[in-house]
Every structure is written in C-alpha cells, then in structure tokens.
Amino acid sequence: MKLIFTPFLLGLLLVFSNCNAGSPAKPSGTANSAGSVIVLTNETFKQKVFDYEKNTTWKYEGNLPAIVDFYADWCAPCRKLSPLVEEIATKYKGKIVVYKVDTDAQQQLAQSMGISSLPTLLFIPVKGQPRSSLGALPKENLEKAIKEVLMVQ
C-alpha cells in the first residue's frame, strides 16, 4: 500500500487557494448512519471535509474519520474500486464517513486538492493529517489503512 503524507497536498492547497473571509456554517454532523457513499460537490466538500478557501492549514470539518474517493467515470481502476468503496461504507456504517468526488464534475476541487492521479483515496482521521493513496487498492490494503490511519477497528 502506497500512502503519501499530505504536506505535498497541503502545499498545493496553499498555491491554489484563494482565502475568503466568509465561512459557511459547519454541518452539525457527518455520521454515515445509512452506510452509503455520499457524493460531494466543491461546496459540500468545503462544508463537510476541508474549506481550502478559508483555511491555510489542514482543519477537518467532520466528526468521524472519513475516506474521500476522487474518481472519474471513464477511469477503469476507479470503476474497479467503486464496489469496494461502497462495501466499506456499509461495513463501517456509523464509524467512518465515505465520500466520492467526481473529478470531471468538480475540477476546481480536484485541482485545489492536488489530485493528479486516479483513483486517489484520501484517508482522514478526526485529528491529525490526512494521507492519500494513489491507484486502486486491494481490499486488504484498504482495510489496513482504515485500521492504521483512521484508527477504526
């Protein structure tokens, strides 16, 4: 499993971000009670995960650990990974939140987060720095990252 520490991503965030004074209200919770994958837009990403326009350092907006799957419909490895991501959302219902971002539809977000390879999974612990993984992970490696990075059993 290839996990890349995110100072690289955060550095790119600083290059591409435009700091705004306005800030949307923080959502009251992001519990994955339904056990389903939540599709994010640029705006909902800023509300639920990270407001890269407002913050110059990483500040996770959620209450539960999360995985963000950056994908595109034309990407064969993304299509291969998608059922596994949905399985993880169901298996860890109430323990982690699983998000998906269509990089074709959300180009500004993908650029701001430094996404240059698909699929890219972003593993976000409640506290601490996120880590990213490039490419379609096998199930064992995904489970290992959930345990080691997100600290979820």
Would you place residue 33 in the very low, low, confident or very high pLDDT band (cuts 50, 70, 90)? low
Q: What is the mean pLDDT of residues 132-137?
A: 95
pLDDT of residue 77: 97
**Residues belonging to the active site:** 75, 78
Domain ranges (residues) in the chain: 3-148
Q: Looking at the DSSP assignment, which residues form a beta bridge with residue 67? A: 98, 123
Give the pLDDT of residue 34. Answer: 62
Q: Which CATH class is domain 3-148?
A: alpha beta
How far is it, in rounded angstroms, from Cα 93 to Cα 17? 32
Record the pTM: 0.79
Q: What is the pLDDT of residues 109-131, one digit of tens each?
A: 999 999 999 999 999 999 999 99
